[in-house]
Amino acid sequence: MKKILITGGAGFIGSHVVRLFVKKYPQYQIFNLDALTYAGNLENIVDIEKESNYTFIKADINDAEEINQLFTTYKFDKVIHLAAESHVDRSITDPLAFVRTNVIGTVNLLNAAKDCWKDDFTDKLFYHVSTDEVYGTLGETGLFTETTSYDPNSPYSASKASSDHFVRAYGETYQLPYMISNCSNNYGPNQFPEKLIPLFIHNIVQGKSLPVYGDGKYTRDWLYVVDHAVAIDLAFHQGKIGETYNIGGFNEWQNIDLIKLLCEQMDKKLNREPGSSAKLITYIKDRPGHDKRYAIDATKINKKLGWKPSVTFEQGLSKTIDWYLENETWLNNVTTGAYQKYYDKQYL
């Protein structure tokens, strides 16, 4: 039985990847390693926790000794690495946390994999999940391709860029078999409400203001999280060792247009007067170093592996809103205590 280590599987994207692999591949033993930081939540994967091919390991990738020990004990065959500090705003207030987990944590995993696999790299793989933010920012036109130079602007994207470089370096220097995928903005169920879409859904439900950074004319390329998980599955199984795959939604939105669409859908779903959610829009101080525009050229994964998004943005957004409205307890559980402190510090 192949042993697949998935890191960060209690987080947003990781939980969707874990679910897909546990359900689709009964012939794999899936190990979900997660430190359960503020962003990790076992409720995200409660539906699969009793499956016989699933094991949860609470561990911190910053603890090199523990990570080495786990590789020695379980002898994982392949790794899908998602564990990370993932929020740009938090990286601006605490960059070192991002260096620790995203850079040093990744190197700890690379070292453990290299030492465990060094005698025989056959059928081994270190699959690293990264972001389009490593490419920096675009002007009005153009797209990020796999050959776009790295040009990160935030402590978060600098730490992810660094981790990508380390993965590649381990491939070149030690022949560690790796793959990297760089994806655009994900949205969907289980996203922690510090990110734009779930934060705004939560605030609309509560009748709180919707804090738009700067002029709101920043552009992101949005992808439904399940489509990202499917792309990872495809690249992991059919991609080429040593390659990078860009994953995106072919779906660019200026923040303010997206927010207006969200407001319209929320008014309908909550049976509120049309225009009532939009009244909550409040322009606030801009994010420092705010990247103007991201847009992914996903032609390579489309042409080589046949991947494309399965839902339109309107469909995906509607499913996402429904999920948050139906999972009020999930939302309430993650927005008490520490979340409130974070929120007050960031926005008040």
Rule CB under 6 A: which residues touch ligand DAU? 86-88, 131-133, 184-185, 195-196, 199, 211-213, 218, 220, 255, 287, 294
Beta-carbon contacts of residue 58 (< 8 Å; ≥ 6 apart): 33, 34, 35, 36
Chain residue whose CB lies nearest ligand DAU: 131
Member of 20, 36, 92, 278 binding ligand NAD (CB under 6 A): 36
Distance between CA 69 and CA 72 in Å, rounded? 5
**What 3-state DSSP class applies to 182?**
strand
Give the H or E element holding residue 326.
helix 313-326
Nearer to ligand DAU, 126 or 156 (CB): 156
**Nearest partner of 97 among 66, 133, 60, judged by Cα:** 60
- Of 133, 146, 221, 291, the catalytic one is 133
**What 3-state DSSP class applies to 57?**
strand
Q: Is 133 annotated as catalytic?
A: yes
Q: How far is the CB of 184 from ligand DAU (least distance, A)?
A: 5
Total residues belonging to the chain: 348
Distance between CA 289 and CA 91 in Å, rounded? 12
> Tokens 């022949």 appear where?
175
Distance between CA 211 and CA 200 in Å, rounded? 8
How are beta strands 178-183 and 210-213 bridged, if at all?
unpaired
* CB-CB contact of 91 with 155 (8 Å): yes
Q: Is 51 annotated as catalytic?
A: no
Q: How far is the CB of 255 from ligand DAU (least distance, A)?
A: 5
Nearer to ligand NAD, 270 or 311 (CB): 311
Q: How far is the CB of 55 from ligand DAU (least distance, A)?
A: 26
- 11 touches which of ligand DAU, ligand NAD, none (CB within 5 to 8 A by kind)? ligand NAD
Member of 135, 192, 253, 343 binding ligand NAD (CB under 6 A): 192
Q: How far is the CB of 13 from ligand NAD (least distance, A)?
A: 4
**Nearest partner of 18 among 30, 36, 3, 34, judged by Cα:** 30
Q: Is 127 annotated as catalytic?
A: no
Member of 29, 106, 131, 277 binding ligand NAD (CB under 6 A): 131
Instruction: Scan residues 50-89 and list those touching ligand NAD (CB under 6 A).
Output: 60-62, 82-86
- Active-site amino acid positions: 132-133, 156
> For binding to ligand NAD (CB under 6 A), which residues are involved?
7-8, 10-14, 34-37, 39-40, 60-62, 82-86, 101, 105, 129, 131, 160, 183, 185-186, 192
